[in-house]
Amino acid sequence: MASVATKGSGLINRLLVQARPQLDVFLKYAKVELTPPTPGDIPAIRQSMGNLVKSAKTGSYKNLSVKEAWLNTLVTAEVIFWFYIGECIGKRHIVGYNV
């Protein structure tokens, strides 16, 4: 039993050593991407929303490249999926509300 414990602790130590670089990269990007917007970000958000409305009014969205259109589609899908995941978490059910 003692040999199993020593082998297990050695395995865990090797796993931590191998996982450390990927964890460091994840934490580096998480600090930037997963933070809420600051008050300094509000003007940039307003400007991008204004550009989006202007693009919809003038029809300039038709001149996007395929890569840009695909990227916009993926971002929209991500926002929708996170909204639905938040709804499921909030109502604590996958389908319907507990009335």
Q: How far apart are CA 71 and CA 65, in angstroms?
A: 10
Q: Give pLDDT, residue 61.
A: 81
pLDDT at 78: 93
| Ranges of the chain whose pLDDT falls below 70 | 1-2, 5, 97-99
Is the separation of the CB atoms in 11 and 18 below 8 Å? no
Give the Cα separation of 73 and 65 in Å (integer): 12
| 77 neighbors 69 (Cβ within 8 angstroms) | no
